[in-house]
Chain A
Amino acid sequence: MPGSKTGDKKTVLFLCKCSSNISNIVDFEEIKRWAGEKGDTNIAAVSNLLCAPDGKKFFSEVIKKKNVNNIIIAACSPKLHEKTFQDIAEKNNINMSRVRMANIREQCAWVTADKNEATEKAKSLINAAIKRSFLSEDLKRRTMKAYSDVLIIGGGIAGIETARTISKTGRKVYIVEKNITIGGSVMKTEDLAPSMECSPCLMAPILSDVRDDPNIEVLANAEITNILGFFGNFNVTIKEKPRYVEDNCIACEECFKVCPVSVKNEFHYSLGERKAIYTLFPGAVPASAVIDKNICKHFTDNSCDKCVSVCPFGSINFDQEEKTTAINAGSIVISTGFKPGDLAGFPELGHKSINDVYTTYELESLLSTNGPTGGKLKPDDEKIPASAAIIHCAGSMDSRGIPYCSSICCTHAVKAGEMLGKVYPAIRVFNIHNDLVFTDPEEHQFYKKQKAKGTTFIKCFDLSSIKITKTPDDEKIKISGYGFEPISVDIAVLATGFKPADDFKELAKIMDLALDKNGFFRPGHRILHTTASEQDGIYSAGCASKPVNAAAACTQAQAVAGDIMSRLIPGREIELEIFTSFIDEEKCAGCKMCIPACPFKSIYYDPERKISIINEALCRGCGTCTAACPSGSIFARHYTDNEINAEIEGILHG
């Protein structure tokens, strides 16, 4: 074949029959004849199955023996095998950009019935690939140093499990917790459903582990104020609020006894009280107490310093200041937990207006021995409740509250009955529900057991019809709704759902992430990567991307840890995107049109040189900026204007 038209490119055209998948529709003899006549390629080599071991050997031999430097493969989709052949080419010192595939199987042979039409289409697809290949420039594989340390936002069970798993590899892990100690929502209950495992017993050794782990640093009472960078190279700014108590505090609680100020304790859903100097629970990490500046009399009117005089360790320090820390980390994990659904929009359910109406969260807090009342529902009342009604979906599946099903509150509702039964063995329990959602066989078994114990499950087709009432003369609470006879009970429990935590919006803004329609973080992929976020290197675990129970939160945490550990290996550089765009500094007029076009904020303006610059470490190679540039100064590697134009010409004049 004459090679005059091909310039310095020695081009080979591989034609793969794919057994007969392609060759029974596309006429290979005709393609060979046509290619010879066109003279753009120097060699045409036909293989029965190029991706099979024999085929790969043949491929390797041809490019080696014939000394080619430009390869066109007419075969299946490049999405299947372009990398296969690029890798072989690279082993033979041919740059990956010199391997192009023409998709004559999925987009030609398999979708065209007529032999002639398929052959003609194959010709134009091959022609486009050849024409474009003449303009390809070498691509460089680029790597970059990366931090292998990890920063975790939120120290609930998900954050803690991620930290513990990663720290075992010797990397530094930072847990940034908004609250004054880590532990999260799991610490607010006694039992975890459906196994009814004791939650504080489960958490106590885990919290000690974190405390004693030299690789885990806890920054509590702290929040994220800024995040810069990208996968492998994040720089996070953290604001640590002063505790006014030094680290040598062991939480002996002497100061609690003398502190004259009490307020409602938010950690226990405001059901109990705490002092102005307080901890959340015994055995907390960090252990030291915190002074609430807003109510402490030293700060409000400088009238008290009783805690100073009783502290055996001299830990009180009213002069502590806010601390700002900057941390470099390779990846970030969002494990900020959830917020219980509230019932403000549902006055008919009587929450907070009728005594003895609780949410499931409040009930389990009250029934927990580490809760505000030491495990008693009504510490001041000797009367034993004889009956309880538990309302499923309270405040959920309703536009006034949570519009979605949280999928774990049914188990929560069944657990409420189980917990009540433990404290009041003779109690009669009614669960009023519509849908019953259980996410695994154990949860369903838990429900069946509860039923067998005597709990009555009442189906109500429209839970929005439920009304909870009690007049001053009534001894009992009346519950009515469509489809069932009204019942009178001593206590009512509302199984509310799981809402996104309050700080999701702020965090999403700082990290440039999107929230889904329910307000949770959108996963990177709904099936393949539910713990990834839309930003490479930022992960989510626990209730950040959807409501999950503690077991699922731990599984997610370990999945996140595994993914991070496999991608960020200490001492190994990370590979960067190859098809990035770059700006011709001579041509750029500094119009800044490209800056808002970039979905990854990887373009910035240099005011000194009056040009835009692409940070190629952040660029993901979509080429949107290239299309936006009015002066043609941006080049998308491997997808340049010239290459695509050549492909357009090639495909139309094949």
Chain B
Amino acid sequence: MADFKPKIVAFLCNWCSYEGADKAGGQKLNYYAGIKIIRVMCSGRVDPYFVLKAFREGADGVMVLGCHPGDCHYRKGNISALKRMRLLEKMIVQFGVERERFMLDWISAGESEKFQKTAEKMTSRILNLGPLKLEGYVKRKAAQ
């Protein structure tokens, strides 16, 4: 397990969490390099399929970070994300993906330290879980 270098995909909204991650950069707050960020305009844009797609493409963990409830640039896109992701959390378990491999959280544009902490929390979670192992039917389908 010592060689395990988890791949973590993070979907960040343009207005809050992506800014928060940029601010973490500006303050040189280091975090694990395997966390790679994809920018979307709103966390509400994150189709649950994107999360499944990331797992299928080899991600060991997936994060969706949006604006705090009530602060969404698009008023309530993050609430749509919340509803969908709560359902998705239940679904991924059925695919053999541990629930802890997915994380939904809120990071404001100013919360650079929270971003760093959240990134580190996710990294240690995935390190504890080890590499994602898909099995049986799901494994066969994912390989296609």
Contact = CB atoms under 8 A, between A and B. Distances in A.
B74 A103 contact: no
Contacts of A600: 74-75
A305 B9 CA distance: 80
Given A599-B76, A645-B50, A652 B9 contact: yes
A108 B31 CA distance: 9
Query: By DSSP majority rule, is chain A's interface helix, strand, loop, or mixed?
Result: helix
Contacts of B75: 514, 534, 599-600
Contacts of B36: 121, 124-125, 128, 651-652
A96 B48 CA distance: 28
B105 to A, nearest CB: 17
B44 A597 contact: yes
A127 to B, nearest CB: 10
B45 A639 contact: yes
Contacts of B41: 579, 621-623, 636, 639
B63 interface: no
Given A79-B18, A648-B9, A652-B58, A118 B33 contact: yes
Interface string B107-131: 0000000000000000000000000
A452 interface: no
A597 B82 CA distance: 12
Contacts of B28: 110-111
A621 B14 CA distance: 11
B38 interface: yes
A622 B74 contact: yes
Contacts of B25: 77, 105-107, 110-111
B84 interface: yes
A125 B39 CA distance: 11
Interface string B15-59: 000110110111011110110111111101111111001100111
A350 B47 CA distance: 60
Given A77-B22, A111-B25, A622-B74, A649 B57 contact: yes
Interface of A: 77-79, 103, 105-108, 110-114, 117-118, 120-121, 124-125, 128, 514, 534, 579, 597, 599-600, 620-624, 626-628, 636, 639, 641, 644-645, 647-649, 651-653
A44 B30 CA distance: 28
B38 A647 contact: yes
11 contacts: A79-B14, A112-B30, A113-B30, A534-B75, A597-B80, A599-B44, A599-B74, A622-B41, A623-B41, A627-B80, A641-B49
A545 B7 CA distance: 46
A534 B70 CA distance: 11
Given A110-B28, A111-B31, A648 B54 contact: yes
Nearest to B46: A627
A624 B77 contact: yes
A118 B36 CA distance: 11
Contact of B39 (A78, A111, A641): A78
Contacts of B81: 624
Contact of B40 (A111, A117, A639): A639
Interface residues of B, number: 44
A245 to B, nearest CB: 44
B111 to A, nearest CB: 15
Given A599-B74, A652-B59, 7 more contacts: A103-B22, A622-B41, A627-B44, A644-B38, A645-B53, A651-B36, A651-B38
Query: By DSSP majority rule, is chain B's interface helix, strand, loop, or mixed?
Result: mixed
A425 B73 CA distance: 56
A120 B35 CA distance: 12
A111 B24 contact: yes
Given A107-B37, A644-B40, A652 B54 contact: yes
A648 B22 contact: no
B45 A120 contact: no
Contacts of A514: 75
A157 to B, nearest CB: 30
B62 to A, nearest CB: 10
B77 A599 contact: yes
A155 B41 CA distance: 39
A108 B34 CA distance: 10
A107 B44 contact: no
A125 B58 CA distance: 16
A137 B132 CA distance: 34
Contacts of B18: 79
A623 B40 CA distance: 9
B35 to A, nearest CB: 9
Contact of B47 (A125, A622, A641, A652): A641
Contacts of A645: 50, 53
Contacts of A128: 36, 38
A627 B79 CA distance: 13
A77 B29 CA distance: 16
Contact of A648 (B19, B38, B39): B38
Contacts of B9: 648, 651-652
Contacts of A624: 42, 44-45, 74, 77, 80-81
Nearest to A651: B36
B55 to A, nearest CB: 10
A626 B38 contact: no
A626 B39 CA distance: 16
Contacts of B58: 652-653
A636 B44 CA distance: 12
Given A112-B33, A626-B47, A651-B9, A107 B57 contact: no
A108 B46 CA distance: 23
A641 to B, nearest CB: 7
Nearest to B74: A622
Contacts of A644: 38, 40, 47, 50
